[in-house]
Amino acid sequence: MKLKRFRFKKPDFKKLGIDLLFIVISCSISAVAIIGILIPNGLTTGGITGLSRFMQEILGISFSVVYYAFALVILMFCAITLGFSEVKKILMMSVIFPAILFIFEHTEFSLLEEKDLFLAAIYCGVLLGVSQGLLFTRGYSFGGTDTVAKIIQKKLIPHISISKILLVVDAFIIIGSGFFFGRNIALYALVTQVIFSKTIDYVIYGFESKLVQLEIITSKHDEIVDYILNDIKRGVTNVTVTGAYTRIAREKIVTICSPRDSMMIKKFVSKKDSDAFVTVIPVGTVWGKGEGFSDILQE
């Protein structure tokens, strides 16, 4: 009987170095947005940032300490409910980002020369979106309410997509901020959140497309199709393709989704099959029934 030999994958230090550089730059941009714009202007937003602003005002302690506490709690629940594979995606951010927030917080840095709520809401949304978009391109996440949405989906409502759960969670945070900070601040938070979401899409895919088409050829076909259907809640078409050189027929996965969904699919595919072949095609308009699609009768 032959013993199976285990091969240990050699770490790609160049990739790790580039990832670390992206993480530090992204965290610094977010720190500028939060410490240099959001807090000095008395604003708030959705996500873990909004929750931390709320608790900061109630408890009277520094924002970075509150954020760090929330990050650790989310990390703990992620480990319990989603497993170590999900923890690895947010572990680095849960440590580095609060540390950078702490550094910026003690510089008393302010970007705007004078208090201006409208400019603050716009620039805060842009900077936060650029920061998150840069992280998404490297397969990382801040591990905030998007992780909370994954936990809620897995344990409570598996039939609802993560994007819809995330929308509701952020909406509750923004509405709740209206009762504490005032209705005007909540409306500014909504402006920030909309600009934030749009900026992420622009950073990842530019200004051309609201939807993208993913074409995936992989040896983990069934697992990836199951993920797209049941976790992302998007439709899938299987297309039989044959390699001209190998003459081997395989099933190609075709799906149309939002840019943010495509990054989640990309992360899942890279985890399951590092040799997968993935094509991303910007889509101008899609007619049909589905989230983000145009009604063919109204076009």
Residue 29: per-residue pLDDT: 92
Q: What is the pLDDT of residues 42-99, one digit of tens each?
A: 888 888 888 888 888 888 888 889 998 888 888 888 888 877 767 776 777 788 888 8
The order of strands in the sheet holding 277-283 is 237-242, 249-257, 211-217, 277-283
Provide the pLDDT for residue 292: 55
* Residues 202 and 127 sit within 8 Å (Cβ to Cβ): no
**What residue spans define the domains of the chain?**
13-205, 211-283
CA–CA gap between residue 299 and residue 292 (Å, rounded): 14
CATH topology of domain 211-283: Alpha-Beta Plaits (3.30.70)
Q: Please, which residues bridge with residue 255 across strands?
A: 214
**Measured between alpha carbons, how far is 103 from 132 in angstroms, rounded to an integer?**
20
Spans of the chain, pLDDT less than 50:
1-4, 6, 8, 296-297, 299
CB neighbour class for 7 (10 Å; exposed up to 12, middle 13-18, buried from 19):
exposed
Residue 110: both structure tokens together: 């302010």
